[in-house]
Homo-oligomer: A and B are copies of this chain.
Amino acid sequence: MDRRQKKTRDAIFKAFGHLLEGKKYEHITVQEIIDEADIGRSTFYAHFETKDTLLKEMCSDIFDHIFSDKICEYSAEKNDLETKLAHILWHLQNNNFNIYGLLSSQSGDLFLQYLKEQLAILFKMYLSDFHTDTPEDFLLYHLIGSFAEAIKWWVNNKMQHSPEQIAKYFMAVTETH
């Protein structure tokens, strides 16, 4: 990829992330992103059609990486759910993007929405670990909602707890008998 393109793209992402810490997504204008990134007007539109496209691509860049099963610094031999979740949380803590800023922003729920899509895929594989008298779909929603809120709690507490601790808490409240 052309060095110029990457530089511009990064500048836009950085500016966007920075602005998100200050105000809600919907109140951020393309003009502000352009000014903050210090790029030409037409350059922005050469990269992204709309603000929504920008958001979507940014989420992809962030979450696709986290959920990809690439080898990473956080090595885990075990393959159980708790370990996987801790792995994901570890990625949220150690990342190139400033995810903490994004998740703790007024638009944090926006990012969680994208995250939930990925969580759905993951939890589907572990549904049989849980036993309830509810439709499978209902259980899936339950797990996703609970884990998303666990992340929110974690972030609201400044991510002071370890990923392993949060994963343990989650397993505790979702435990079935």
- Are A149 and B153 in contact (CB-based, < 8 A)? no
A142 interfacial contact with B, CB 8 Å: yes
What is the 8 Å Cβ interface bit string for chain A, positions 144-177, against chain B (1 contact, 0 not)?
A: 1111111011000000000000000110111111
A44 interfacial contact with B, CB 8 Å: no
The 8 Å CB contact of A172, one of B133, B148, B152, B169, is B133
A1-37: which have CB < 8 Å to B? 25-26
The 8 Å CB contact of A134, one of B135, B152, B169, is B169
Q: In the complex, which residues of chain B have a beta carbon less than 8 angstroms from the beta carbon of A25?
A: 26
A99 to chain B minimum Cβ distance, whole angstroms, is 19
Q: In the complex, which residues of chain B have a beta carbon less than 8 angstroms from the beta carbon of A139?
A: 173
- Are A134 and B172 in contact (CB-based, < 8 A)? yes
Q: In the complex, which residues of chain B have a beta carbon less than 8 angstroms from the beta carbon of A95?
A: none
Query: Bound state CA distance, A174 and B174, in angstroms?
Result: 7
Q: A175-B177, A177-B177 are in contact. Are A169 and B138 (CB under 8 A)?
A: yes
A124 to chain B minimum Cβ distance, whole angstroms, is 14
- Are A173 and B142 in contact (CB-based, < 8 A)? yes
A132 interfacial contact with B, CB 8 Å: yes
A87 to chain B minimum Cβ distance, whole angstroms, is 20
- Are B137 and A153 in contact (CB-based, < 8 A)? yes
Q: Which 7 A-B pairs have the closest CB atoms?
A: A145-B149, A145-B145, A26-B26, A141-B149, A141-B153, A134-B169, A142-B173
